[in-house]
Structures are given as C-alpha cells and as structure tokens.
Amino acid sequence: MEMNSANVEAVVKQVLESMLDRKIPSPSAQPAAGQAVPKTAHVAMLTSLEHYDIREFPIPELGDGDILVKVEGCGICGTDAHEFKKDPFGLIPVALGHEGTGEIVRMGKNVKTDSAGKPLKVGDKVVTCMIFKDDPDIEMFDLNKKNIGGADVYGLLPDDDIHLNGWFSDYILVREGSSIFNVSDLDLDSRILIEPCAVLVHAVERAKTTGILRFNSRVAVQGCGPIGLICIAVLRTMGIENIVAVDGNQQRLDFAKKMGADRSVNFMEYKGIDALSGAVKEAFGGHLADFAFQCTGSPAAHSNIYKFIRNGGGLCELGFFINGGDATINPHFDLCSKEITLVGSWVYTLRDYATTFDFLKRAQAIGLPMKELITHKFPLEEINEAHQTNLAQKGLKIAIVNK
C-alpha cells in the first residue's frame, strides 16, 4: 500500500482511537483540533486542610471561545501555602495552582489571538492572567470590588461543575473571556516564574509613583524569600545597583547577592532595632536607604523598616497578601517628621504581565540566576509532599512539574 499523507493520517487516527478507546473528531468537525486528548483530566483538589486528593474529571466539550491547555508545570505560591494550612478564602474543595503554564491542545473556533493580540495556535505555550480582559489596567483590587467569590484567577476560583479550574492538574480549561498570553519564546522554568515576577513588576511600578526611586537610589529590600529575591532582580534590570538585602537566613542572603544585591544584613546578628538600622546604614556606606521594599509577612518587620529609611525617603509595603495582623509604628517619628512616602502594592494588572515577559528576558541577558529560584520540582502525585516542603521553608520556589 502506498502511504500517502491521507493514508498516514487515517492510520494514525485509527491507532489513536484504539489507544484511547474513543472516536477522534475529524479536523473539519473540530476546528483546530490538536494532539490526542484523553477523556479525563487529573486535578489536585484541596479537599481538607493540608490534604490534596488527585481527582479525575471528564474533559468537557469546548465552547467556541474556550481553550484546553495541557499543563506542564505550576509553582507553589505563598497564597497556596495559606490556603493549604488555613483556607482563609474559604474555597475548600478547590483546584489550586495559579502560577501555571502549559501547551494548547485544543481551541474553540473563535480563538485567534492572545490578550496582547499575538496569534494563538495549537502547540503554543501559554500562561493565564485574570479572567476579564476588557481593560489592561484593571487590577485584582478592582475585580474584587466588581465580582463575588474573591480572586478571579485560575487556581483561586470557587469549584464548579467543570472542576478544571486550577493549574495543579494535567489539563485546565481556559474559558472564553479569560486573559491568556502566548509565551512560547520562554522556557518552562521562566514561564513558571511569570506570575510571581508580575507581582514585583507591579510593586516597582507602584514604588515609581512616589518619584523617589531613581537609578542612583540606595534601596533596602527586607525579606529574601522568592518575592524579595525577585524584587532585587527587577531593580537590577532597571539599572539600580545600590541594593542592601535584609533577612535572617544566611543562605537566602547569599542568594540575594547572586541576584544583584550589593550588600546584605543578617538581622540575627543584631540585637535591637538601633543596632539593626545601624548595620543597614553601614552597608550603605554611612547613609540610610532612599527607598525600601518590605517583602515579609511579619508585622514586626513592617514596624522596623521605617528605621532603615532616610528623611524624605519612600517605602513600598508588599508583604501582606493576606491579613497578617496589626503592626505598630510611631506616626510622629516614622511617618510625619521623616516625611516618608508610603505605597502599598497587591498583585498586578494585566499590563504588568506583558512587561514581565520582557523582564525575564532582560534578567537572563544580564546573567541573573532566575531559574535557580526553583529549588524543588515534584510530580503532581506528590503535591502534598511538595506543600510540606514549602511549609518547612526547605527551598525557595517549589514547583509541580508534569511528566
């Protein structure tokens, strides 16, 4: 038999159908049909505190504006850690995972481009951002005012009858109206880091609104978990070089230097805030910081950071993604008499996402070891162990990576 391309196609279809025990729709019946897709998806559902179950759900028929993505990987966020331990958003049972990325395997016939207008096709690598795309400057903050149910990102949605709502899974159904970006030009590790990096791109944009952050600013970054470390990287790609990292973990401080911090201060070595602020001042060569980023979730760290900042300086507080309790400051000494300009930052806008793709390329170009932020990779079946490793603070960014 002569194997022309039509024959090859027919044979492949037949073999796939026998493997999967189902009829593969022909390309005309299912426009833009991609690789063979199983009947069911595996979703890691957080079903009780500190416990995920891997559940199997049918993959539904796609609507004309829907996209089915085969998940390649997803980072574990601080927010996931909070959900895992305490469910502060009251979402259980929930399909978590919002730092995910994967490959388009099927698209509805109306899908032509991503949210930035870039063409989309089966096989493209994508990430999602927020679910509404009508305004690129819209913030999570706005969405929470306009919509019920809390955060409107995949991985923090209330469960529904489709269930394919989070990136801790092997397939996710991206519904019509969601924001999606074609990031085929970034490797898997970089794509997993997009979401946390967008948080920092946003925070630095917020910091810039004070008018205090400049090329030659002395900048203190307090907290060297993934958020603080990425903060340092974003500042470096902006050309800011005079950065002092503050943390209590020497390993993290050493990594902060690799990410571009000039000096580091280990607060474990100092007793009392005067000694600590003295150490920060010394690290800047006898000056206090012009600007500071507070990247921990510790109320005491918020209280302390004012002492690192010069009169007329600025502060961006971004450590409290959820309620971490009250912090005490002295309004006279810390704010008024020093004329500190303070901005808060939370999550990101849609536009910050597009900026983040370029940031990741620039960070790579100047040799920042971004990918070393991902210290552990677990398969989906070991998601409970992955979260425990994260809670034990054994690494930096922990990721679920599918085979």
Give contact residues for Zn ion (rule: CB under 5 A): 77
Strand 94-95 to strand 40-48: parallel, antiparallel, or no bridges (unpaired)?
antiparallel
Chain CA centroid to CA 191, Å: 9
DSSP 8-state code for residue 336: I
**CB closest to Zn ion, residue no:** 77
Q: Residue 154 or residue 378: which is nearer to Zn ion going by CB?
A: 154
Q: Residue 77 or residue 259: which is nearer to Zn ion going by CB?
A: 77
Q: Could you tell me the smallest distance in angstroms from the CB atom of residue 380 to Zn ion? A: 18
Which of 152, 213, 195, 216 has the alpha carbon at shortest distance from 343? 213
Q: Residue 77 or residue 194: which is nearer to Zn ion going by CB?
A: 77
Q: Could you tell me the smallest distance in angstroms from the CB atom of residue 98 to Zn ion? A: 6
Q: Residue 132 or residue 321: which is nearer to Zn ion going by CB?
A: 321
- The gap between the terminal CA atoms of the chain, to the nearest Å, is 37
Contact 209, 202 (CB under 8 A): no
Q: Could you tell me the smallest distance in angstroms from the CB atom of residue 128 to Zn ion? A: 12
Q: Could you tell me the smallest distance in angstroms from the CB atom of residue 75 to Zn ion? A: 7
Q: Residue 212 or residue 374: which is nearer to Zn ion going by CB?
A: 374
Q: Could you tell me the smallest distance in angstroms from the CB atom of residue 46 to Zn ion? A: 15
Instruction: Provide CB contacts within 8 A for 367, sequence distance 6+.
Output: none
Say how many C-beta atoms besides its own lie within 10 A of residue 164's C-beta: 24
Q: Could you tell me the smallest distance in angstroms from the CB atom of residue 33 to Zn ion? A: 32
Q: For the chain, what is the largest distance between any 2 Cα atoms, rounded to a whole number of angstroms?
A: 89
Contact 128, 60 (CB under 8 A): no
Q: Residue 30 or residue 144: which is nearer to Zn ion going by CB?
A: 144
Q: Residue 77 or residue 219: which is nearer to Zn ion going by CB?
A: 77
In terms of C-beta density within 10 A (0-12 exposed, 13-18 middle, 19 or more buried), how is residue 332 classed?
exposed
Q: Could you tell me the smallest distance in angstroms from the CB atom of residue 101 to Zn ion? A: 13
d(C-alpha 224, C-alpha 235), whole Å = 14
Which of 137, 176, 131 has the alpha carbon at shortest distance from 157? 131
Q: Could you tell me the smallest distance in angstroms from the CB atom of residue 198 to Zn ion? A: 9
Q: Could you tell me the smallest distance in angstroms from the CB atom of residue 234 to Zn ion? A: 16
Q: Which residues of 61-99 are buried (b: 16+ CB within 10 A; e: fewer)?
A: ebeeebbbbbbbbbbbbbbbebbbeeeebebbebbbbbb
Q: Residue 43 or residue 77: which is nearer to Zn ion going by CB?
A: 77
Contact 85, 391 (CB under 8 A): yes
Q: Residue 169 or residue 277: which is nearer to Zn ion going by CB?
A: 169
Instruction: Provide CB contacts within 8 A for 184, sequence distance 6+.
Output: 124, 125
